[in-house]
Amino acid sequence: MDVAGLVEMLVKSIVNNPDMVSVKMFDNDENIMVEVIVDATDMSNIIGKGGSVISAINTVVQAATYINGMKKVHINIDSL
Protein backbone atom coordinates (compact mmCIF):
# COMPACT_ATOMS: atom_id res chain seq x y z
CA MET A 1 0.00 0.00 0.00
CA ASP A 2 1.25 3.48 -0.89
CA VAL A 3 0.72 5.60 2.21
CA ALA A 4 2.17 8.75 0.64
CA GLY A 5 -0.11 8.33 -2.39
CA LEU A 6 -3.18 7.95 -0.18
CA VAL A 7 -2.32 11.08 1.84
CA GLU A 8 -1.54 13.02 -1.34
CA MET A 9 -4.87 12.05 -2.92
CA LEU A 10 -6.82 13.05 0.19
CA VAL A 11 -5.01 16.38 0.59
CA LYS A 12 -5.19 17.33 -3.09
CA SER A 13 -8.94 16.75 -3.10
CA ILE A 14 -9.36 19.35 -0.32
CA VAL A 15 -6.99 22.20 -1.20
CA ASN A 16 -7.51 25.04 -3.68
CA ASN A 17 -3.95 24.74 -5.07
CA PRO A 18 -3.34 21.01 -5.62
CA ASP A 19 -0.23 21.70 -7.72
CA MET A 20 1.47 23.16 -4.63
CA VAL A 21 1.05 19.97 -2.55
CA SER A 22 4.21 18.02 -1.78
CA VAL A 23 4.16 14.72 0.15
CA LYS A 24 7.22 12.88 1.43
CA MET A 25 7.30 9.67 3.44
CA PHE A 26 9.99 8.67 5.94
CA ASP A 27 10.01 5.15 7.36
CA ASN A 28 11.90 4.31 10.54
CA ASP A 29 11.87 1.34 12.92
CA GLU A 30 8.90 2.50 15.01
CA ASN A 31 6.56 4.34 12.65
CA ILE A 32 6.00 6.02 9.31
CA MET A 33 6.26 9.81 9.12
CA VAL A 34 4.44 11.59 6.29
CA GLU A 35 5.36 15.22 5.69
CA VAL A 36 2.82 17.28 3.73
CA ILE A 37 3.66 20.75 2.39
CA VAL A 38 0.77 22.91 1.15
CA ASP A 39 0.35 26.53 0.10
CA ALA A 40 -0.13 28.86 3.10
CA THR A 41 -3.60 29.82 1.87
CA ASP A 42 -4.70 26.18 2.06
CA MET A 43 -3.73 25.56 5.69
CA SER A 44 -7.22 26.41 6.94
CA ASN A 45 -8.72 23.91 4.45
CA ILE A 46 -6.43 21.14 5.70
CA ILE A 47 -6.81 21.82 9.41
CA GLY A 48 -10.55 22.50 9.34
CA LYS A 49 -12.65 23.87 12.16
CA GLY A 50 -11.15 22.60 15.39
CA GLY A 51 -8.84 20.25 13.49
CA SER A 52 -11.71 18.17 12.15
CA VAL A 53 -10.36 17.76 8.60
CA ILE A 54 -6.83 16.72 9.52
CA SER A 55 -8.30 14.41 12.16
CA ALA A 56 -10.47 12.74 9.51
CA ILE A 57 -7.48 12.38 7.16
CA ASN A 58 -5.47 10.84 9.99
CA THR A 59 -8.31 8.42 10.82
CA VAL A 60 -8.59 7.22 7.21
CA VAL A 61 -4.82 6.75 6.88
CA GLN A 62 -4.55 4.97 10.25
CA ALA A 63 -7.40 2.61 9.31
CA ALA A 64 -5.82 1.81 5.94
CA THR A 65 -2.42 1.07 7.45
CA TYR A 66 -3.93 -1.00 10.27
CA ILE A 67 -5.89 -3.14 7.80
CA ASN A 68 -2.71 -3.73 5.82
CA GLY A 69 -0.66 -4.60 8.93
CA MET A 70 1.62 -1.60 8.65
CA LYS A 71 3.23 0.63 11.29
CA LYS A 72 1.54 3.62 12.89
CA VAL A 73 1.57 6.75 10.72
CA HIS A 74 2.26 10.31 11.88
CA ILE A 75 1.21 13.12 9.52
CA ASN A 76 2.98 16.47 9.72
CA ILE A 77 1.40 19.41 7.83
CA ASP A 78 3.39 22.53 6.98
CA SER A 79 3.03 25.43 4.55
CA LEU A 80 5.28 27.32 2.18
The answer to whether the beta carbons of residues 35 and 24 sit under 8 Å apart is yes
Instruction: Tell me the backbone φ, ψ of residue 26, rounded to 5 degrees.
Output: -125, 125
Provide the residue type at 64 as one letter: A
CA gap 36, 38 in Å, rounded: 7
- What is the number of structural domains in the chain? 1
| Span 66-77, average pLDDT | 94
pLDDT of residue 68: 93
pLDDT of residue 80: 87
Whether 7 shows a pLDDT value over 80: the answer reads yes
Task: Give residue-wise pLDDT tens across range 18-59.
Answer: 999 999 999 988 899 999 999 999 999 999 999 999 999 999
Structural domain harbouring 17 = 3-79
| 52: Cα within 13 Å, side-chain hemisphere | 3
Question: Where residue 25 sits, what CATH number does that domain have?
Answer: 3.30.300.20
In this predicted structure, what is the pLDDT of residue 1? 76
Cα 45 to Cα 3: distance, rounded to the nearest angstrom: 21
